[in-house]
Amino acid sequence: MGRFDIERLLRDLGEPNADAPKEPSADDERGSEVVGEDTPVRPDPSASTSTRADVDSQAAAIDVRPPDFNTGSGLDAEIDPAMAIGHDRVRPTRPDDALRDLFVPEGGATSGNVDLIDLLHGRDEIDGGSRDTARRLQAQTPDRPVAAILLEMEIEESIVQRGVAEISRIDFAKVNTDTVDAAQMKRLGVDYCLEHRVIPLRTEGTRTVIGTTSPDDVFLLDELKRRLGVSVVKHVLVCGGEVVDAIQVLEGGDDQPSTDIEAILADVEEDDVEFEKTEETETDLELEAESSPVVRYVNHIIQTALQEGASDIHIEPGEKHLKVRLRIDGILYEAMTPPKKMHAALTSRLKIMANLDIAERRLPQDGRIRATVMNRRLDLRLSTVPTANGEKTVMRILDDQAIQVSLDDLGFGEDTLALWKKQIDQPHGIILVTGPTGSGKTTTLYSSLRQMDMQRLNISTVEDPVEYNLPGVTQIQTHAMIDMTFARALKALLRQDPDVVMVGEIRDHETASIAVQAALTGHLVLSTLHTNDAPSSVTRLVNIGVEPFLVGAALNGVLAQRLVRRICPACVEDVPVPEEMRDFLVVHGIDGPTLPQGRGCEACRNTGYSGRLGLYELLVFDDHLRDLIASSPNVTEFRRICCERGMVSLREDGFRKILDGRTTVEEVLRVTEATI
């Protein structure tokens, strides 16, 4: 590879534990021997009697030039490129620095030579603008290798390293988990490999092949030989990013590689996602924009989530890996696995967007990001929580277009839809929507408000937080830290002459009591409650302190709901009903040999489902049920009576949608439970 035996030179210079100095030979006396591949350069023999400490103390007096250089009878520069170093360029220095200056790989060029720019430009791997920029930066910082400048310009690392390898006449190799010598890697130490960006690839007889990111670090190669206990090391040039990825995968015991960040960022621009800046965050955003790869990768995550129709983005750190998952149609899917080293930068970027404290990593934080993506305005609700492996970040995507859904498109059956529209047209009373988090309660309430006559009615909402902006509606957000609670905001609204009031959630006695009083004094109140079904809402209100007779007097109706996935229309087909399911389906009114089911295609990510629709259980209160509530019945008995009076349960509504070919048995059983 090179022309100097480093160990021999250091030994001759007086390195500790070196062999005793040898008598000068005739070759030494001649001083004009041509340096060949196996012939080391011999310094003045008199220098060999000094110790390394003596050499260091007299560094200024050391002449690192070849013998007889000044006499004109030294080595010819045409024979050895190292001799091309002019007399005026040789400076007194330390021995190790001198050796670095003198060592030139075979081929006579280094990665710092400007020829690398010409090589890449000649291959059309960089354009003219990049070439000129690289030359300008090289002129400004002549001591920096051109390879480092090109990498800073975000030229793909593999392109740069291939060029460096060709100029340096060194082999270039791709690194993956299959090409790494794991045993030798353990011997070097994972931390050492990561720090120096080296990776053992294979052993060829007595020679170990090592991948490095530098073509001419001879001292590193010497250290590698000592650490591995081998006499010969062959080094090939590799990409530092591939080294890190391979080590992370091998250490994590996971064969799944990290996402190809460079390929992704090539197609993403910083302005693809426009974040709305506030006065508090504008300065920080301008500083953060300098780290464009992080900015573009955050943009890519958000764009991907929007394109896939995701409702939530999860950025989850593991011990060795980082995982990005998207919740699509209620199910989490792994979308990408960026390198773990990006975790801190991604989290900080998102915190800055949400105006959070990037230095606080010990406490949970919540914030809001407003952005325009693909000409669509989004609200991202950001939540961070500290974990054993770092901060986990979850973003809820609130898309204004997603909420622009009419009641007719939510999945109501005809009878249920007619009853619901009649309920929201009442002049007073309480209407509740119940269900777990993520079951579509907010969408149903917003669609119901848009169904109303906003020109004739004064409609107001109290929310935590305000998720979507509704034109023509007065929306108030609660702030617990300043005691702006649901109850306090609701009291204030009732002095604003409202016709319709929507309360984000009834969660305590005070809010429930005010809502009941508002309903009994001529206002229509819409709200949500966390119960598993419609009849349970009565018990829930009683449990938080509302008198049973007031509950019966104020409640007009309760709508329980769940979301199931729709069968993909692009790949739907009829499949035979499994024999073990036949009797069960017959009991629920499904008596056919086949049922529709999605086969799986590109349009639905091979899941067989595309989009979601609601299952609904609507309970409308009549005089009989009001009298029954006043006697405080138990939930089981009350549910049985409700079903006898015509209430369609969630599971029954699900089986109706199975018969209509809109969803599957598996989906209905996944989100509902058996009832009386």
pLDDT per residue as tens digits for the range 98-156: 444 333 343 333 444 447 888 888 888 888 888 888 888 888 888 788 888 888 888 88
Q: Which of 85-89, 116-120, 148-152, 571-575 has the highest mean pLDDT?
A: 571-575
Residue 181 contacts by C-beta under 8 Å, 6 or more apart in sequence? Answer: 200, 201, 202, 203, 208
Strand, coil or helix: what is 475? Answer: strand
Domains and CATH numbers, the chain: 116-155 (no CATH), 177-251 (3.30.300), 261-275+292-399 (3.30.450.90), 407-566+611-650 (3.40.50.300)
Question: Among 617, 636, 628, 501, which residue's Cα sits nearest to residue 552?
Answer: 628
Mean of all residue pLDDT scores within the chain: 79
Give the model's pLDDT for residue 94: 43
What is the percent of the chain with per-residue pLDDT over 70, rounded to a whole number?
76
Residue 506 has pLDDT above 80, yes or no: yes
Q: Which of 249-263, 458-472, 512-526 has the highest mean pLDDT?
A: 512-526
Residue 566 has pLDDT above 60, yes or no: yes
Range 214-218, long-range pairs (CB < 8 A, 24+ positions):
214/111, 215/105, 215/110, 215/111, 215/164, 215/165, 215/168, 215/170, 216/103, 216/104, 216/105, 216/110, 216/111, 216/168, 218/2, 218/4, 218/6, 218/99, 218/100, 218/103
Q: Which of 108-122, 398-412, 646-660, 662-676 has the highest mean pLDDT?
A: 646-660
pLDDT tens per residue across span 644-653: 999 999 999 9
Residue 200 has pLDDT above 80, yes or no: yes
Per-residue pLDDT band for 638 (boundaries 50, 70, 90) equals very high
What is the rounded distance in angstroms from the CA atom of residue 666 to the CA atom of residue 255?
32
pLDDT tens per residue across span 445-490: 999 999 998 899 999 999 988 888 888 899 999 888 888 888 899 9
* Of 251 and 185, the one with more pLDDT: 185
Strand, coil or helix: what is 561? Answer: strand
Per-residue pLDDT band for 663 (boundaries 50, 70, 90) equals very high
Backbone angles phi, psi at 71, to 5 degrees: -85, -10
What is the rounded distance in angstroms from the CA atom of residue 674 to the CA atom of residue 659?
18
Residue 274 has pLDDT above 70, yes or no: no
What is the rounded distance in angstroms from the CA atom of residue 565 to the CA atom of residue 571?
14
pLDDT tens per residue across span 360-387: 889 999 998 888 887 788 889 999 999 9
What is the rounded distance in angstroms from the CA atom of residue 616 to the CA atom of residue 43?
92
What is the rounded distance in angstroms from the CA atom of residue 19 to the CA atom of residue 16?
9
What is the percent of the chain with per-residue pLDDT over 90, rounded to a whole number?
35
Give the model's pLDDT for residue 643: 92
pTM here?
A: 0.58
Question: Beta strand 524-529 with 500-503: parallel, antiparallel or unpaired?
Answer: parallel
In the numeric block, which tokens belong to residue 304? 């991907």
Per-residue pLDDT band for 273 (boundaries 50, 70, 90) equals low
Query: Across residues 637-663, what is the average pLDDT?
Result: 93
Strand, coil or helix: what is 118? Answer: helix
pLDDT tens per residue across span 48-57: 444 444 444 4
Give the model's pLDDT for residue 268: 54
